[in-house]
Amino acid sequence: MPDDSFHVFDTTLRDGAQREGVALTVADKLAIARLLDAFGVGFVEGGWPGANPKDTEFFRRASQELDLEHARLTAFGATRRPGAHTADDPQVAALRDSGAPVVTLVAKSDVRHVERALRTTPEENLAMIADTVAHLRAEGRRVFVDLEHFFDGYLYDPSYALEAVRAAAGAGADVAVLCDTNGGMLPAGVGRVVAEALEATGARLGMHAQDDTGCAVANTLAAVDAGATHVQCTANGYGERVGNADLFSVVAALELKHGRKVLPEGCLAEASRVSTAVAELVNIAPATHQPYVGVSAFAHKAGLHASAIKVDPDLYQHTDPALVGNDMRMLVSDMAGRASIELKAEELGVDLGGDRAPAARAVERIKELETRGYSFEAADASLELLLREELGEAPELFTAESWRVITERRADGVAVSEATVKLHVKGERMIATAEGNGPVNALDRALRQAVEGVYPELGALRLVDYKVRILEGGGTGAVTRILVTFGDGHSEWTTVGVGENVIDASWTALEQAVRYGLMHQGHNE
């Protein structure tokens, strides 16, 4: 952190791991902690030692394997139990034994939860907070207190919620974190409550926002506007139910919109990389439309936008995407104009040479193709081939005379597809037959057999992904769009095919993918 005046606190490894479908191993948690440290957060909450063996193991390994540059590791746990002696409480002992220099305690601040969930008195709950904070402070730990259900408790009984803040701060807690545990607050209410709590207690306040109203980021920023100097977030907004305040949106807004330096120099530009890397580790596809870091965050589709962006990108972008490690992208569709094509050609490395005619022809072709169901937004390779065709630069490499596919279901219940392709390659007629696990796999194998002798580089190309979408008509006679992704170990590219016959559409995409791959390996004739 630049200094201690403002805390960026990440709880991906604890609160974020409560998202449905997320199951992190200890190795995953260690890897994510390193990524969060690279992003420059001040605190990484590693989990609840003593509550489950995995979190206990994480803290044991973290002490040996993590060499954090910016972040301080934080252990999460509860206050002592009602009626217990703090030094003898096993949960408090697990926090001490974790070795974490910072402890975050969860405590009740809604008197209804105190009486109905904890089943103790309001006075004993305040003593539990004060005793546990004081004990851990005496043990040399820095302590934050998460006041669970604070906003609901404040709206029900403000005096008791404020007493919980005073109990934490009075015992030596660095921060009293106001938690919107049910996620029901809106920004105006958050701002009012935080301001009133700050005026009434004088304590250092933090904000923990759940996203059940879709306002977690806005609520966090409202809390900062009202005087909070500690924000708790999760990478990509992961968390229980619909999630938490998104770390990358909160930090980007604070730095780029509030003009508040909350990360070390150069760390904000790591946002897109860290966001994607964390998504891969938790095995969730990155959110394409995520603010700031999503692949579509600075993607422009409308022709009107493209014309303005060509003059000045700032006319249709709220900030420079490079500041968060992202890029501007141009999307080409039936909304595109010539400016969109020219910008996209530049992005793809296609030199239009100042001639407007190829761009104009490409626009018309694209619009006509999109009426038939084509989409070039996710198929840059098909678009590049189209542009090079208009320039007369697309290498022919091979031409298809015909192809056919037969699928046979054998007596043992196994279905096998056989494909035959007839191609012309550099003046020679090639015929190849191959079997495959389905008709598309058989076509792919037959195509390779037919041309690999002339283009051995084809052996390095692999089919990475195959997507089918039914566009219109319904039933077995519907128009189908196929997206095929190939890779060569260094890069990947996607092509598109459309037709009423799914195999025909697949052939179109396969053929284009192979042409593109060979072209980028230096075959230009």
User: CB count, 10 Å around CB of 456?
Assistant: 9
Q: Are strands 72-78 and 43-47 parallel, antiparallel or unpaired?
A: parallel
Please list the pLDDT of the chain residue by residue as tens digits (525 residues): 447 999 999 999 999 999 998 888 898 899 899 999 999 999 999 999 988 899 999 999 999 999 999 999 999 999 999 999 999 999 999 999 999 999 999 999 999 999 999 999 999 999 999 999 999 999 999 999 999 999 999 999 999 999 999 999 999 999 999 999 999 999 999 999 999 999 999 999 999 999 999 999 999 999 999 999 999 999 999 999 999 999 999 999 999 999 999 999 999 999 998 998 898 888 887 888 999 998 788 876 655 555 555 556 667 778 988 899 887 766 655 455 566 677 777 778 888 877 778 878 887 888 788 778 887 777 888 888 988 888 888 778 899 999 999 999 888 888 889 999 999 998 899 999 999 989 999 999 999 999 988 999 888 898 888 888 877 655 555 788 898 999 888 888 889 999 888 999 999 999 999 999 998 887 866
User: Tokens in use for 435?
Assistant: 């079997």
User: Tokens in use for 383?
Assistant: 């678009």
Report the candidate in 362, 360, 355, 296 with the shortest Cα–Cα distance to residue 331: 296
- How many residues would you count in the chain? 525
Q: At 386, give phi and psi (nearest 5°).
A: -60, -45
- Please give the Cα distance from 147 to 150 (Å, whole number): 6
pLDDT score of 505:
93
Helices and strands, counts by H and E, the chain:
17, 16
Question: What is residue 505's three-state secondary structure?
Answer: helix
Q: Are strands 479-487 and 462-472 parallel, antiparallel or unpaired?
A: antiparallel
Taking each helix axis as running N to C, give the angle between helix 216-225 and helix 187-201, from 0 to 180 degrees, rounded to the nearest 10: 40
pLDDT score of 1:
42
**Which CATH superfamily does the domain covering 399-519 fall into?**
Alpha-isopropylmalate synthase LeuA, regulatory domain (3.30.160.270)
pLDDT score of 340:
67
Q: At 465, give phi and psi (nearest 5°).
A: -150, 150
Q: At 256, give phi and psi (nearest 5°).
A: -90, -25
Helices assigned H by DSSP within 149-186: 150-156, 158-170
- DSSP secondary structure of 7-76: EEEE-TTTTGGGSTT----HHHHHHHHHHHHHHT-SEEEEE-BTTBHHHHHHHHHHHHH---SS-EEEEE
Q: Is the dihedral of CA 381, 383, 386, 391 positive or negative?
A: negative
Residues 303, 337 contacting (CB under 8 angstroms): yes
User: What residue ranges of the chain are covered by domains with CATH 3.20.20.70?
Assistant: 7-282
Report the candidate in 239, 254, 168, 166 with the shortest Cα–Cα distance to residue 208: 239
- Please give the Cα distance from 122 to 78 (Å, whole number): 16
Identity at 107, one-letter amino acid code: A
Residues 498, 372 contacting (CB under 8 angstroms): yes
Q: Which residues contact 491 (CB under 8 A, 6 or more apart)?
A: none
- Please give the Cα distance from 269 to 225 (Å, whole number): 24
CB-based burial label for 422 (10 Å; 0-12, 13-18, 19+): middle
Identity at 458, one-letter amino acid code: L
Burial 232-269 (b: 16+ CB within 10 A, else e): bbbbbbbbbeebbbbbbbbbbbbbbeeeeebbeeebbe
- Please give the Cα distance from 5 to 261 (Å, whole number): 10
User: What residue ranges of the chain are covered by domains with CATH 3.30.160.270?
Assistant: 399-519
Maximum distance among all Cα pairs of the chain, rounded to whole angstroms: 92
- Please give the Cα distance from 7 to 311 (Å, whole number): 40
Report the candidate in 180, 177, 225 with the shortest Cα–Cα distance to residue 204: 177
CB-based burial label for 5 (10 Å; 0-12, 13-18, 19+): exposed
Class of domain 7-282: alpha beta
Q: Which residues contact 382 (CB under 8 A, 6 or more apart)?
A: 374, 376, 494, 495, 496, 509, 512, 516
Assign 3-class secondary structure to 474-504.
Answer: CHHHCEEEEEEEEECCCCEEEEEEEECCHHH
Angle at 254 between CA 253 and CA 257, to 5 degrees: 60
Report the candidate in 367, 303, 313 with the shortest Cα–Cα distance to residue 337: 303
